[in-house]
Amino acid sequence: MSKLDKAALGEPDTTAPSAPDDAFLSVRDLRIHFDTDDGLVKSVDGVSFDVRKGKTLGIVGESGSGKSVTSLGVMGLHRSARAKVTGEVWLDGQELIAADPDEVRRLRGRKMAMIFQDPLSAMHPYYTVGQQIVEAYRVHHDVSKKAARQRAVEMLDRVGIPEPAKRVDGYPHEFSGGMRQRAMIAMALVNNPELLIADEPTTALDVTVQAQILDLIRDLQKEFGSAVIMITHDLGVVAEMADDLLVMYGGRCVERGPAEDVFSEPRHPYTWGLLGSMPRLDREETDRLIPIKGAPPSLINLPSGCAFNPRCPYADIPKDNVTRTVRPELTEVGGSHWAACHMTQEQRERIWTEEIAPKL
């Protein structure tokens, strides 16, 4: 694992938005807006990123940041009349937003697959685990039920479910939380997808089981060389899994870059806030956490200017009230490390090294 990471670091970075050629998944200016009774909800409002084969992108954010909506958008799962999806999603050289929905459906589950947060509600309670995996396999492969069942048993075995030939006939409610998530992973991987999106895959699990599942995802990624998007609110999980990191706030990306850079030299006050909010086992015990004041914004009424400005302790540093009037664009702050903040690079560097980092 560590060797791989080192190698990745040494390589010239290709995650900049200008290089979609070698990225397996390339998202450009994705916007997903919902027309609701209360008004237009801009769940995702202009997000771009790339994921390469064998690499993991972590998407971090709080509730309502748009992280899950983004992933469902990539999968083409916002087909309701009220959702308006614009931008480009390039999967292995094929654009999906403008593509025929049935074409995208054929890619779903085969070329790109998804793991969801709560496997108990994400699996159908009336069908056995085997039936559900068989169904996922047969929709993309013209094989007999028997062959598909054999494949399901293989997959259950591969994800570490004991006695797979017996468990294949069990119902989801008969599995423990960890085993259910394994079954869910087996179902997602049954067609050898090249892109795997994991939406909070371990949030509902205990730490020891979480460690098992993360380990499993890592192993499988190594084995199949797939591109992985890991969506989570847990910075610990991201730090462990992700090569690159995307921090979302209010439907937009506020910071993006190689995971090590974002963790060691974060350049957005929101990222600082996230780091300061969590107690850490790898540091000496601190007296107080440094929370972010206020609560995540409503997507219907996003604050004008920088969406983070009402919660940002540094909102007054940039001149002319610009944080409250102008939306900051992503600017490069280091090698393929981007952040959207009105403060100057120097100001941010100073605040980070002098005020924030020592308290973490």
Partner 1 sequence: MAAADDPAAATRGRTAVAAYILRRVMGAVLLLLVVSAVTFAIFFLVPRLGGQTADQLATQYVGKDANPESVAAIKKNLGLDQPVYEQYWNFLKGLVVGADYTFGPDATHCGAPCFGYSFKSHIEVWPQLEQRIPVSFSLAVGAAVIWLVTGVTTGVISALRKGRPIDRVSMFIALAGVSLPIFFTGQILLALFVYEIPVWDSIDYVPFTENPAEWAWHLMLPWVSLAFLFSALYARLTRAGMLETMSEDYIRTARAKGLTETTVVAKHGLRSALTPIVTIFGMDFGTLVGTAVLTETVFSLQGIGAYSVQAIKDNDLPIVMGVTLVAAFFIVLCNLIVDLVYAAIDPRVRYS
Partner 2 sequence: MSDDKTVSEPDTSGSTLTKDTTADGDVLLKVTGLQKHFPIRKGLLQRQTGAVRAVDGIDFEVRKGETLGVVGESGCGKSTMGRLITRLLEPTGGTVEFEGKDITHLGTSDLRPMRRDVQMIFQDPYSSLNPRHTIGTIVSAPFRLQGVQPEGGVKKEVQRLLSVVGLNPEHYNRYPHEFSGGQRQRIGIARALALNPKLVVADEPVSALDVSIQAQVVNLLDDLQDELGLTYVIIAHDLSVVRHVSDRIAVMYLGKIVELADRDKLYKSPMHPYSKALLSAVPIPDPKRRGVKSERILLKGDVPSPIAPPSGCRFHTRCWKATEICKTTEPPLVELRAGQRVACHHPENFEDQQPQDTTLLSSAKEVAADNGAAAPVEK
Binding site for partner 2 (CB under 8 A): 1-3, 5, 62-63, 162, 176-179, 206-212, 214-215, 233-240, 242, 259-260, 263-264, 273-282, 285-286, 288-293, 295-296, 311
Q: How far is the CB of 221 from partner 1 (least distance, A)?
A: 19
Q: What are the helix and strand counts (H, E) for the chain? A: 14, 12
187 vs 229 by CB, closer to partner 1: 187
Rounded CA separation 124/191 (Å): 19
| Side chain identity, residue 29 | D
Residue 331 near residue 340, CB atoms below 8 Å: yes
Q: Which positions from 212 through 241 interact with partner 1, judged by CB under 8 A?
A: none
Among 1, 165, 211, 300, binds partner 1 (CB under 8 A): 165
Q: How far is the CB of 151 from partner 2 (least distance, A)?
A: 24
Choose the one of partner 1, partner 2, none that binds residue 116, judging by a C-beta under 5 to 8 angstroms depending on kind. partner 1
Rounded CA separation 352/137 (Å): 49
Rounded CA separation 226/53 (Å): 5
When asked if residue 85 is in the footprint of partner 1 (CB under 8 A), the reply is no
232 vs 309 by CB, closer to partner 1: 232
Pairing of strands 112-115, 195-199: parallel
112 vs 220 by CB, closer to partner 1: 112
Rounded CA separation 330/48 (Å): 10
Q: How far is the CB of 155 from partner 1 (least distance, A)?
A: 13
Cα angle for residues 111, 113, 118 (degrees, 5° grid): 175
Distances (CA, A) of 63 to 69, 71, 118, 125, 249: 11, 14, 16, 27, 9
Choose the one of partner 2, partner 1, none that binds residue 347, judging by a C-beta under 5 to 8 angstroms depending on kind. none
Q: Give the closest residue to 61 by CA, choosing from 201, 268, 246.
A: 246
Q: How far is the CB of 87 from partner 1 (least distance, A)?
A: 20
Q: Which positions from 87 through 116 interact with partner 1, judged by CB under 8 A?
A: 105-110, 113-114, 116
Residue 108 near residue 75, CB atoms below 8 Å: yes
Q: How far is the CB of 199 from partner 1 (least distance, A)?
A: 10
Q: How far is the CB of 67 from partner 2 (least distance, A)?
A: 12
Binding site for partner 1 (CB under 8 A): 72, 75, 77, 105-110, 113-114, 116, 118, 121-126, 128, 135-136, 139-140, 149, 165-166, 169, 171, 173, 187
